Amino acid sequence: HQPFQIIVRYTTADGPAIWWLDPELTYGNAKPFVFTQGHSVCNRSFFPCFDTPAVKCTYSATVKAPAGIQVLMSATQSSYLEEEGVYQFYMEYPVPAYLVALVAGDLIHADIGPRSRVWAEPCLLPTAISKLSGIVERWLTAAESLYGPYIWGRYDIVFLPPSFPIVAMENPCLTFIISSILESDEFLIIDVIHEVAHSWFGNAVTNATWEEMWLSEGLATYAQRRITTETYGAAFTCLETAFRLDALHRQMKLLGEDNPVSKLQVKLEPGVNPSNLMNLFTYEKGYCFVYYLSQLCGDPRHFDSFLRAYIEKYKFTSVVAQDLLDSFLNFFPELKEQCVESKAGLEFERWLNATGPPLAEPDLSQGSSLTRPVETLFKLWTTEPLDSVAAASSVDLTKWRTFQTVLFLDRLLDGSPLPHEVIKKLSECYSSQLDSMNAEIRIRWLQIVVRNDYYPDLYKVRRFLENQMSRMYTIPLYEDLCTGTLKSFALEIFYQTQNQLHPNLRKTIQQILSQGLNPLPAIDTTAVTTDTPAMVLEDKVSEATNGAISLRDVNVSA
C-alpha cells in the first residue's frame, strides 16, 4: 500500500497522434511545425498510457526544442530554460489521456483578455487578435454565470495550419483550432464557444466510455447554445440550431433510420476506432435529449442549477449516462415522483437506445426572423414554374448572416441536381456576391456548381482548390467531383496541387480519386509509412466516400 514509481523508457515511431509538417505546409513557410491530436485513442502512439476516458491523471513533461521553436502543451503550468532549450510543463488536475496535447512551431502570442491569449504564426496573429480580442472573456464569464467557476486557470487558443484534421479540439488550457476557420466569423464564434463549454462538459466531467460520447458532446452543445443565447440572443442560437438539425436529418437520410450509429449509446465492437462513432447524432441527438431534460424542469435556469451541481459533484471524474440521469432525478424529486423517466414515447431508455431521429426537437420559433427569409427564398427558387426570379434576385445575400446563407445553400444542395434554368439563374443572381464571402459559403456554392455540372463556373472550383490545403474545404469538393462526370477535372487539379497538401490528406484524396479507376500513378507519399494507422478522420473519409456522406455533413468540432 505504499506509493511507488515505474519508469518506462520508450521511443515512438510515426503514429496517428503526431503530425509533422515541413515549412511548406505552414502559412509562414519559414519553420517546421508539429502538433498532436489524441482524440479519441491516438495518444497511445504518443506516450505509454491508459488510453481510455475512464482513467484520469495529472502529468508533467519535459520538451527540448531547437532555438526559435515555441512549444506549448495542454498544461496549467509551464517554464522555459532558454540556455538549454528546454520547456517544462505540468498539468495539476487529472485529465484523460486524449487531452494531453503538444504543439511546436513558429508561434507568437498576444493577450486577448485577463486570462486568455491567442497563439498563431506571425502572419496570422493580427487577424486572430482582431477576431477574438475581448470576446473570449465575455464567453468565459457567461459560462461561469451558468455552470460555476472556470477551473483550468488560463484559456488560451492556438491556431494550427490547415493540415489540422478536425475543426477544433478542447485541450484543457489550450484549445486547438484550425486557422482556416478564421475567415468565417460566425463559425469561429460557435467553434470557440463549443470548446469553452467543453471546459465543464468533457474536460472536467468526462464520459467514462467512448460508447457514450454524447455525455460530453451533447452536454457541450447544449451549454454552447445557452452561452450563445446569453451573449448573442435566442434568434441567433435558433438559427445555428436549425442549420445543425438540418444537417442531422440529411445524415439520417443517408444512413437510414435503423442504423445503429444513430443511437446515443452505441455499441463499440472490438477493433473499431471510437472516432468512427462520432457523428451528428453524438452532438445533435445528444443535444436534443439534454434540451428535453431542461424542458422537464420548466425553466432553463433551474436546469442550469442542476448542471452546476452535477459539475461540482463529478468534476475530475468520468461518468456514465446513469450517473447523469440519477443525479437529475435526485435534484428534481418532483419529477422523479411524476416518473418522467418512463413517460410513454419519451422514456429515457428509449432516448438512449432507440435508433432514428431525436424523440423530440427544440422549439426554434424564436429564430423565425432569421430562418423565415431563408425558407421564403428557397421556395421561390424551387417552386415550378420558375416565374419568381425577379423577387428572388432582389434578395441581397451580402446582408444575410453566414448561417442564413449556408442554410439556404445546403437546402439547394439537397435538391441538386436542379433544372438547368434554375442553376443558370442562380449563378447570374448570386455567383458574384458569393465570390467575396467566406470559405464556408463559397464551398457550398461550388458544390452546387459541381453537382449540377454547371461548366461556366467550374473555373471557380479550380481556383478554390488551388488555394486550399485544409481537409474540410477539399474533401467535400473532391467527393462531389468524383461522384459525377468531372473526375478527370479533379485529377488534373490534384496533380497540380498535390505538393501543397499534407501527405495524409494527399493519400485520402488519392483514395477518393481511385474509386472505380485503375490504380493512380505512384505519388510520393514518403511521409506516410505503410504501417501508419489511419488518421482519426481518414476512417470518416473512407466511410464518406463509400456511403455518400461528405464531410460537409460531418463537420466535426470535437
Radius of gyration of the chain (CA): 24
Contact predicate 367/241, CB 8 Å:
yes
Concatenating the DSSP letter of every residue in 344-407 gives TT--HHHHHH--SS-SS----GGGHHHHHHHHHHHHHHHSSS---HHHHHT--GGGS-HHHHHH
194 is in an annotated binding site: yes
C-alpha closest to that of 505 among 488, 528, 486, 522: 528
CA distances from 280 to 25, 111, 181, 285 (A): 30, 34, 19, 7
Of the chain, the end-to-end C-alpha distance in Å amounts to 39
Contact predicate 515/482, CB 8 Å:
yes
- Rounded-to-integer distance, Cα 112 and Cα 132, Å: 7
Catalytic residue among 121, 170, 195, 538: 195
Is-cis flag, bond preceding 275, omega within 30? no
C-alpha cell of 142? 457567461
CA angle (416 as vertex; 414, 421 as ends), nearest 5 = 140
- Rounded-to-integer distance, Cα 353 and Cα 346, Å: 12
- Rounded-to-integer distance, Cα 158 and Cα 73, Å: 10
**β-strand partners of 71:** 104
C-alpha cell of 549? 456522406
198 is in an annotated binding site: yes
Rounded to an integer, what is the distance from CA 530 to the centroid of its chain?
Answer: 28
3-class DSSP state of 141: helix
Q: Which residue has the cell 468524383?
A: 482
543 is in an annotated binding site: no
Active site residue 421: no
C-alpha closest to that of 225 among 286, 279, 152, 153: 286
Contact predicate 540/276, CB 8 Å:
yes
Phi-psi region of 412 (alpha: psi -120 to 50; beta: other; left: phi over 0): alpha
C-alpha closest to that of 328 among 307, 344, 311: 307
CA distances from 189 to 19, 118, 405, 551 (A): 26, 14, 16, 20
Dihedral angle sign, alpha carbons of residues 415, 416, 422, 427: positive
- Rounded-to-integer distance, Cα 285 and Cα 278, Å: 12
DSSP assignment, residue 201? B
3-class DSSP state of 29: coil
Contact predicate 43/17, CB 8 Å:
yes
C-alpha closest to that of 157 among 210, 193, 209: 193
Contact predicate 278/556, CB 8 Å:
yes
Catalytic residue among 283, 287, 292, 473: 283
- Number of helices (H) and strands (E), helices first, in the chain? 21, 14
Active site residue 478: no
Which residue positions form the known binding site? 194, 198, 217
Which residues are identified as catalytic?
A: 195, 283
Which residue positions form the known binding site for Zn(2+)? 194, 198, 217
